[in-house]
Structure 1
Amino acid sequence: MSTAGRLLVVDDEPSLQDIVATSMRFLGYDVSVAATGREAVKAATESQPDLIILDVMLPDFDGLEVMRRVRAAGVDAGVVFLSARDTPADKIAGLQAGGDDYVTKPFGLEELAARVSAVLRRVRPEAESAGQMTVADLTLDPETYQVTRAGKEVDLAPTEYKMLRHLMLNVGVVLSRRQLLDAVWGADFYGDDSVVATYISYLRRKIDTDGLEPLIHTHRGFGYVLRAPRKSGTASGGTDVSTSS
């Protein structure tokens, strides 16, 4: 079972709800969905998600009211609002209501994934040190230091393990060489940052092998990202999502 986090996706537009939910599942999250405010409050109370991706405009009552009712029910999940309302006043209202972030439509799925990951690091920091992590068929157990891909154990050197773990903690997020250097070697490392590319190459030889779909990707000029394979017919992480609501 994935331990990346439990998400509740709330949106009354079926296509957008499906795109967001499917993309988050590909990233290793356990996702449930709701289409109305009442469904959202019920689902949040029952499933106790770590984070709610919450559309502001819903058919019965708005996302801000969902937020108030969820908090009153004792649900302490992080909240990322989605809305076509993009004025400073709208954003301030969402954040003052208790939201952790506010994403305006249209948005890119990779941007949303990065914001979700960032909020989860704030609201459940213990997730970085506990529990097995899973992305597609890749798993990492921080207690046993065991890594498997497609059911086969992968033997990693300590530095390779640290880099893979950091990539998995930031699944879907493009990390620069500097960020990886600081996370794996420490901020006081003064060597050449080309060592990052070297270890990415080592990881690829062990993780993305035997005809398996690649999980580690290079964004030239930006850095590296680990993400699950995208199935044909589904939205990619770089796809902009728009809606009229």
Structure 2
Amino acid sequence: MDTNSQVKKILLIEDDHNLSKSIASTLEKEGYACDPVYDGQIAMRYFQNRSCNLILLDLNLPKVNGIELCKKFRAMNPEIPILIITAFGDIDSKMEAFDLGADDYLVKPFHLKELLAKIKIFLKRAEQAPTTQPLYQFYDMKLDPNKKVVIREGKEISLTPKEYGLLEYMLKNRNRIISKDELAMNLWDNKYGVTHNTIEVYINFLRNKIDKGFERKFILTKPGFGYYLNEQSDEL
């Protein structure tokens, strides 16, 4: 997909026609090109045949739901920003969306200014030219940020995008304790709607994949402060 044109193209997938018109009008006033579609089948055909720079995706859609679309879009293009807009505000829906590769999540009703702020952040991030990043080695674990691959004791570990981002952030900040608020701010862009419980759930997910079955446990907790990586050679 060629997304290098000067005017940024946004694919808006929303079956509420009034909300879709309101969002599209706001985006066009900001100088974006917005293509609204109203069901999952049309959205998939659009994505396969046309270019866009960012996707706004409702979850409750006719014909093909937003969860399935998110999965397919991410498989076809790992880099394009996907922002979920939905009435489902429960933690399970949010976690499922993040696990499938969504970049952020807005619960209806939301302020259009907040939506615009998020769009600008993700479009700016997507514009940055990719560079080859160094590999991370942590005892018997390797993380390749270029291929998004994690290997421990020679075995590749399958992580969701959010779990991978969490582990990479901890490796980048391996010499200090990281608070839940810091993780929320940096991995979810802001902590609005992201509770400490959400962070705990993802840490547990990551521990089950990174530490379970291995003698040495990497992800440790300092109660009341946050999380850190176990770098003590004599601590298991």
**Taking CA–CA contacts closer than 8 Å with sequence separation of 6 or more, which of the two structures ends up with the larger relative contact order?**
1
Q: TM-score, normalised by structure 2?
A: 0.50
